[in-house]
Structure 1
Amino acid sequence: MRRILGYATALPVSVLLLAGAGAGAGVGAGAASASVPGDDGFTIKDPRITESSGLAASRAHPGIYWTHNDGDDGTYLYAVDGRTGETVARITYTGVGKPHDVEAVSVGADGHLYVGATGDNDEDEDHVWIYRLKEPSDLSDRTVAATEYHVAYEDGAHNAESLAVHPGTGRIYVITKDKDGGALYEAPEEPSPDGDNTLGKVADIDLWVTDAAFSPDGTRLAVRGDDGIMYTWKNGKPSHPRSLDVPKQKQGEAITFTTDGRTLLYGSEGRNSGVVARPAKAGAAIVDEADGLSGMRVTGVVIGVAAVVALLFGGGRMVCLRKRSNGRRGSAL
């Protein structure tokens, strides 16, 4: 069980005023910088894309977003222009078996695209699949050879719709989907195309997850379902979960960062599906109610910050009043 902790309720008015000023400055700075194509959202117009399940911002082609249909309609990836919503290329990847249930796409640190055929609704598969293919330098309909990896969870079968490749280390991560919360798993540092690769559990994820994405600098991990969580990413693990402002969508599925890391794009299934943009800013902290120590630590930090700010902004007045009071008592004697 988790709850959202709003820091602002514990802070004095002076801090809120300063925070408001700082936030305004940040917004102004962001508005003044160059925008990234698609960072205000777009509509996927290709009639062949009826169940956009994954979304990934291209690094080789700024403003292009890779997507695919859910399920097993073929080994296809679509390059969609964020300026127009039109498909500019369809890639057919070969050298792999018939995809069982394609759920996610991610861009790796090595200039390759990674596709996760990780869906397993009945949780009865002894392994699932990840495909790796070179991102084309030229955007046109073409065929690209892919490498197929068999992956299996260390603790048995799971259903998963999320695949995220870290932009710095190139490590592949999968998040399982469960109504009671999923878990984050990592693939071997160098997966092998021969035999199974074991996915090792890294951390629990307290969310029904349909997709996930790393920020371009690799310091944040965003996960989404109907709700969302932004994690700080450090030393190969997620921490400090904070809430995300996930838009209401008919069947929300995908998430990706824009290439500048300022915006999160949320995708949905359906024909002419809309990709909705939201600032990539986390909200209130999320605290596990069962973890009393965590709650105490967070509360303690908030109280400590409030005390320091009170001393800084109100200390001078307190000392002044005390001196005046002492002076009045001295004159009465």
Structure 2
Amino acid sequence: MAEIDAADAPVVFAWAGEGRDQSSSYRLVDGALYGQVNSVSKRAACRSALDYPTSPVVGRAQASLSEIAAAKGHSMVVPPKGFHDPARWSNLDEFPPNACQEDIFEWEGRFTDCVKVMAVVDGALWRAVPDPLVVVYRNTSGWQTSVAHDVTFSQDLQRFHFSADRWAEAQAFCREMALGSGRPANAGRFTHDQTWVPTRETDAAEVRELAIRLASHISRMTNDHAVMKRVTHEKIKPKITWSDLPTDLFGVYGALRSVLDVPSDQFGEQQAGEAVECFDKVLAVSDRNGLGWLALQPEAYKAHIGKWNSRPIEFAFQRDHLRTGTLRP
């Protein structure tokens, strides 16, 4: 593992929570972004991507053990219960006598590859990581900021992702959401070296995840209401049928499904814009027809629509002289 002088690995981005003993820091090592690993955490607490030094290998091991358990039964993995929790794994001083040598070589290679992208800087352990994202979310303490490495949602869809260089925008958004809900705002503290520019785009990825959630919700809820029964003139009928649904719902649902047919690696600004239009139309259809069950967390989607519409947009123009002497973009 390489030991690098701090002067050759400058800190380019950092976040610290207000009133919380939580922080994240990132250095640029030979042009690659490295995040600090909390190597002193207890094994049982090593759950996050940065807290467990060799978590990329551990994650692959967990997946392999899950596949073995699903195919051949829990008795084929050690320990048979709780194998998904690395804190419960035994520390084996040597491999079992029946261990497959090919498997040993394969996993030793994976471990070596993992360690290759680690470095010791200023007495701490750092590991190559994807560009961080600033996340604005709410909990029992109010509105918060944090740092993550993927666009993810829990049950609460009021969770908003920003690229790291938009940290000031994320802070302002956090305070705005807190003000609107009458709750405290803990916007965090950030430092950012502008010589480092993140390459990850967050807006389209966030919209795509929301579109998947909404399309699934519409399908599930219409099916549920079709199964539910009602008694009308002593006859039992479905609570809702296709003929009961507003015709404009079919158009917007079809448009939403169509935009989701685009592969994730090709889902960009255009597709995200079309999806956001679908969000707005679903909310309108729900309000106009009294179908409250149709909209999924409408306040969250309204906030995401507002975030999308207020996002910074960069324009690039190429000016060519025409024969008439006028300019065209």
TM-score by length of 2: 0.25
Q: Decide which structure has greater strand share.
A: 1
Q: Decide which structure has greater helix share.
A: 2
TM-score by length of 1: 0.25
